[in-house]
Structure 1
Amino acid sequence: MKIKDLVLKLTVSCLCLGSTYAIASPELSNNSKIQISNLPAKTPGTLLSIQAQNTDLFPNASQRFLITYRSRGIQSEPIVASGFILLPKGKAPKEGWPILAWAHGTTGVADTCAPSSDYVGGPVHIYQQIAAKALNAWLARGYAVVAPDYQGLGTPSGHPYMNAQSQLHTVVDAVRTTHHLKPYKFNKNWYVMGHSQGGAASLAVAAYGQKDAPELNLRGAIALAPGGYQYEGIAEYVATHSQIDTSVAAFFPIVLLGAEAADPSLVPANLVSPEMGEILNQARSRCLSELQSDLKQAPKTVFKPNVNLTPLTNYLKKQSIENMIPTVPVMVVQGEKDQLVDSRGTYAYYQQICKMEKPIAFYPLKEGDHRDSLRQSEFLIGNFINSIENKKSLSTCSAK
């Protein structure tokens, strides 16, 4: 059963989340069918459904579960979100496994772009293969991993791409959901790690996650090539350049559609030229990797003449990572040759947090591209975790 079909059935049978449906979660075989029980669905993090999957990409996992869970949207309204959970091998320690929440990078806004629905040859599979190596490193350390898809990816409603509140909620509630996975045991300690879009999500969690879920113990956050520094700049760049790069042309519709999903008054069709409108329509049903491979030439014009971009740029500015002031230790990893996230912006954010005297470590990768921060993370997490667990300083702010 595809995740979208499952969620639509759940939507009909148990939403608007006023009914009380969730699923029991014993150990399942890979051919187990989804089950329903009666846990209260009003509570954020309630497990709504679960189905065992193969662990092909995750040799360090003992089990993998496809899940849907009750989360909160932009205005804290009840929503259904999807994702997957990975359990490490071996017996859980007496206090239970700690948890890593994985916030994925940009895949798109279409339902087919949900990482939990990934398949060999699918539009997000290459990215998932890279991410899997990073997650296997956490599994090897005895961490359970929960990987949310974010609001609207594979579930009802649009995906409010890069909306800080929405991403905070789906990540935090996914961790809550993991604690409902019985008979397995998890402890209250957890970390968050995210790449690109997910890097911004991890910084939102670093800023607000402990307050949002005080019953849990957020230990630290890892932001890998975090997007979203002066986020409004993407619209300003497109508006002021007569000829944009094809990579920007493929990416920008995701920004526009994400803004519209968060604020329906921001209608992209009222802003863009007919040329960009064609790409925008493709982005509604195709993932970023498909848009990048299909688009051979950027449109000559992106916006309509004399269009008012102020409402759009005001919205984007509110999602910028410079608004995220961490309350837990943070590690930032950034490739200096990254063509998608400007390393200068990431470094400016790091300097901002240093001036606030918050614990933050910055690791530049001199020849690193956008995905190298993700590839290298498995070699950097050990020192980060050990520093926090041993209450040692990890800040690099005094370094030149």
Structure 2
Amino acid sequence: MSLDAMTSARRTGRGLAGKRSPWATLAAAMLAVALIAVTGPAAATPGSGSASGSGSRGDFYLPPTPLPAGAPGQIVRSEPFTLALSVPGAQGQVPANAVRIMYLSADTHGRPAAVTGTYLEPTLPWPGPGPRPLVAVAPGTQGQGDQCAPSKGFAELVHYSFPLDLWVSYEIVTAYALLARGMAVVMTDYHGLGTPAVHDYVNRAAEAHAVLDSIRAARALTGITRPSAIFGYSQGGGAAAAAAELHGDYAPELDLRGTYTGAPPADLRAVLASAPAVNGLVPGVLGGFAPGLLGYTLNGIVANNPELAPVVDEVTNAAGKQMMAELATTCVAEAVLRTMLRPVTWYTAGGRQPIEIIDSTPELAAIVDDQRIGRRKPVAPVLIAAGTNDDVLTYPQVRQLAVDWCGQGATVQFEPTVWLPPLFPSTAIGHLLEFLPATVAAHDWLTQRLAEVPAPSNCAALP
């Protein structure tokens, strides 16, 4: 199907899309995923690469050397592909026609980099008002192995390599729920996820660049300038928040109507100091389910700052070095299986907690401090969600992000989830359960912003 045909999906004016129940939309998307999985996905079809580079399945993710000159968001190559969860429809695939993209962006140092992602043009109508919008989804933690890239998950659905490498990209549900509302979706893979570079996990600048440039890339691909929004939870919440506050300086031409950031790691120092899932239920004795996130973080720090390799080598022991090497090629499920229930001090020299290492190592402290989100004012409105019993990305540091942005005069709606009890702290259940109510609230809020309804703010209620 041609790109022109793909981008000519019908538009109607049936009133505000927000009137559709967000719970019903999310449930419908999940049901569609389940039904298509049962009836069988459409067979994959090979795509064709663009003139700027080969687009075959084997080398699509290998950037050309040197990179072509161009502005951030320029398409390096693209290829249509068949979604693993789809059925044929009158306008192509249901729920969307998909294009795998590689586009120009910038790494944490501002140097040109190639980033991959997925563009999804829905074959359902947009109920309006106004033109069909575009939502840039910043995915949550996928892992650090190239096989974890969300763009691969859309086509493959389930990835498995012996013995522990089993992965399903859960962000398919996020994308399909937005597609069910008639919104176009672009989802970045982030810098280094899929491509040969190391994915610099929770790196503020690189993630913000990748998200904002994905909106530019969607515009370059389709030739359509659309009102846009950003949507992210967990690692994606951090990327969304970082993009929201860099928007005015890095990509001021974008018509960004609002950003949803759920459970963001706004203060990495605070997360490493307080997260039970990282530090364990009994620090130093009984570990949590997510000490491996420290390995992802350290791998990214070393990749971006190779001069710090001796410093990281000094603060990790033999088990820590092995953990970093193993996790560099894993998706997050395997990382959990490899590290769960071991205290994080199992991996550090002298059995020190991560916060002790940061506080006593100026070089690492400077890098961690640079990841702090909340020091720049977002131009567009922001919705922030947080669970009071989140055991991965702890509540106080998310609330502080809202306070910081409110103090700068931003339009912020802060929505805490207080009714979820502390279930099995350190297992990440408190973090995972918050995803659903936060997502439901975000759908309605984003739809209102895209309809240009004035954004609410509860900054006055935050000390």
Q: Which digits, 9 at most, give the CA deviation of each residue in 1:321-348, with x for residues without a partner?
A: 2334322100011222321111122112
Q: Are 1:220 and 2:258 matched, yes or no?
A: yes
Q: Which runs of structure 2 are paired with 1:214-363 in the superposition (5 Å)? A: 214-229=252-267, 231-234=268-271, 242-243=284-285, 245-267=287-309, 268-298=312-342, 300-305=345-350, 309-363=361-415
AA matched with 2:348: F
Verify the 8 A CA contact 2:227 2:450 in the aligned structure 1: no
Q: What is the alpha-carbon distance in structure 2 between the residues aligned to residue 352 and residue 394 of structure 1?
A: 17
2:157 aligned to 114, 120, 124, which one?
Answer: 120
Instruction: Give, in whole Å, the separation in 2 of the partners of 1:73 and 1:374.
Output: 28
Q: 1: CA distance between counterparts of 2:166 and 2:407?
A: 38
Alpha-carbon distance in structure 2 between the residues aligned to 1:311 and 1:317? 10
**Percent of aligned positions that are identical:** 23
Alpha-carbon distance in structure 1 between the residues aligned to 2:133 and 2:101 = 19
Please tell me whether the aligned partners of residues 259 and 446 of structure 2 are also in contact (alpha carbons under 8 angstroms): no
Q: Which moved more, 1:60-69 or 1:170-179?
A: 60-69
**Partner Cα separation in structure 2 for residue 397 and residue 372 of structure 1:** 26
Q: Report the alpha carbon displacement of residue 252 of structure 1 after superposing the two structures with TM.
A: 0.8
Distance in 2 (CA, whole Å) between partners of 1:120 and 1:165 is 29
How far apart are residue 179 of structure 1 and its match?
1.2
> Does the 8 Å contact 2:375/2:405 carry over to 1?
no
Q: 1:43 to 1:351 in 2, by over 3 A?
A: closer
Cα deviation 1:135-160 (Å, max 9, x = unaligned):
23322333211100110111122112
Alpha-carbon displacement from aligned partner over 1:97-131 (angstroms, at most 9, x marks no partner): 321111011222221221112233336744x33x3
Q: Whole-Å Cα distance in 2 between the matches of residues 181 and 356 of structure 1?
A: 35
Give the secondary-structure state (helix, strand or coil) at the position aligned to 2:431. Answer: coil
Aligned-partner Cα distance in 2 for 1:211–1:161: 23
Match of 2:444 in 1: 382
Q: Report the equivalent of 2:63.
A: none
Unaligned runs of 5+ in 1: 1-23
Task: Give the number of equivalent residue pairs.
Answer: 372
Contact residue 58 and residue 136 of structure 1 kept, 8 A: no
1:370 aligns with 2:414: no
Deviation at 1:293, TM superposition (A): 1.6
Provide TM-score, normalisation by structure 2: 0.72
TM-score by length of 1: 0.82
Structure 1 equivalent of residue 83 of structure 2: 55
Per the TM alignment, residue 217 of structure 1 is displaced from its structure 2 partner at its CA by 1.0
C-alpha separation in 2, matches of 1:220 and 1:234: 25
- The more displaced of 305-314 and 103-112 is 305-314
- The alpha carbon displacement at 1:35 in A equals 2.3
Residue 229 of structure 2: SS of its match in structure 1?
A: strand
Q: Which deviates more, 94-103 or 45-54?
A: 94-103
Q: 1:37 aligns with which of 33, 41, 51?
A: 51
Matches within 5 A, 1:8-157: 31-37=45-51, 41-57=69-85, 61-90=95-124, 97-118=132-153, 119-122=156-159, 125-126=167-168, 128-129=169-170, 131-157=171-197
Q: How far has the Cα of 1:167 moved from its partner? A: 0.9
Q: Deviations over 1:293-338 (max 9, x none)?
A: 2335425543324975221121111101233432210001122232
CA deviations on 1:190-245 (whole Å, 9 max, x unpaired) are: 1111111111111111111133122221111100111132x12455566x953462
SS at match of 2:334: helix
> Would the alpha carbon gap of residues 246 and 91 (structure 1) be closer, same or farther in structure 2, given more than 3 Å must change?
closer
Distance 1:36 1:371 in 2: 39
CA 249–261 in structure 1, closer or farther in 2 if over 3 Å, else same: same
Q: Look up the equivalent residue of 2:115 and give its one-letter code.
A: A
Report the equivalent of 1:193. 231
